[in-house]
Amino acid sequence: MSSTDDLIAGLAAEGVTPASHALRRFVMPLVAVSVISAGFWLAMLGKPFTAVEVYGPVPMMVKWGFSLPLVFGSAWALHALGRPGQDAHRRMLCLAIPFALAAVVLAIDLAIGGGRFPGATWDRCLIAMGTFGPICFAGAIIATRWLAPTELRKAGAVAGIFGGSVAMSAYAPFCPELGMLFMTTFYILPILAMAAIGWLLGPKLLRW
């Protein structure tokens, strides 16, 4: 009997039933970091959505309208990237839509004068993105490692987008700042930075 036959015998003896909770194992770390991020800001800053009472719902809708599709879209893309042989390109392309729309809205906003910049709380926003972006990125890496990604740079970049967009979604309800220039500088650029970090670290962090 060859060593490969021995190996097959050993693997077959381990049982045939794959884990039935495969999807839950993938989703759990993503949900955990999202809850931790939102819970932290709720505990630190108290009542959310105070800016909505002053400026109306539109600024909040723009922020979440950008970040939440990225949260769910990047998780959806990661799920495909983690399954060998599955085409994830279309899902990844979908992630470009919020960025393209944000670019259009930024152009319109700048054309009509834009909001105040950089605003009074820009440093808090940057801390939120700089702290929780990497934490949520780590959650996405743990989730993806449970799967079997074969395109590690792409998976790393998408994990970075997930990390950044969750950090933004969690902090946005407490952010009083307005204007697309603010959103681009303190939210979108950090998300892209996280994607770049993920692209660079993906091959190291996701190798299996």
Residues in contact with another protein by CB under 8 A are: 2-4, 7-9, 11-12, 14-19, 22, 82-87, 147-148, 150, 207-208
CB-nearer residue toward another protein: 141 or 175: 141
Which amino acid, one-letter code, is at 117? F
CB-nearer residue toward another protein: 46 or 85: 85
Q: In degrees rounded to 5, what are phi and psi of residue 129?
A: -70, -40
Which tokens sit at 109? 């906003």
Which tokens sit at 187? 């939210």
CB-nearer residue toward another protein: 72 or 208: 208
CB-nearer residue toward another protein: 82 or 163: 82
Which amino acid, one-letter code, is at 69? P
Q: Provide, rounded to whole angstroms, the least separation between the CB of residue 130 and another protein.
A: 32
Q: Provide, rounded to whole angstroms, the least separation between the CB of residue 207 and another protein.
A: 7
- 206 burial level (CB within 10 Å; 0-12, 13-18, 19+): buried
Q: Provide, rounded to whole angstroms, the least separation between the CB of residue 4 and another protein.
A: 6
Q: CA-CA distance, 21 to 53, in Å (whole number)?
A: 42
In three-state secondary structure terms, 71 is helix
Q: Provide, rounded to whole angstroms, the least separation between the CB of residue 85 and another protein.
A: 4
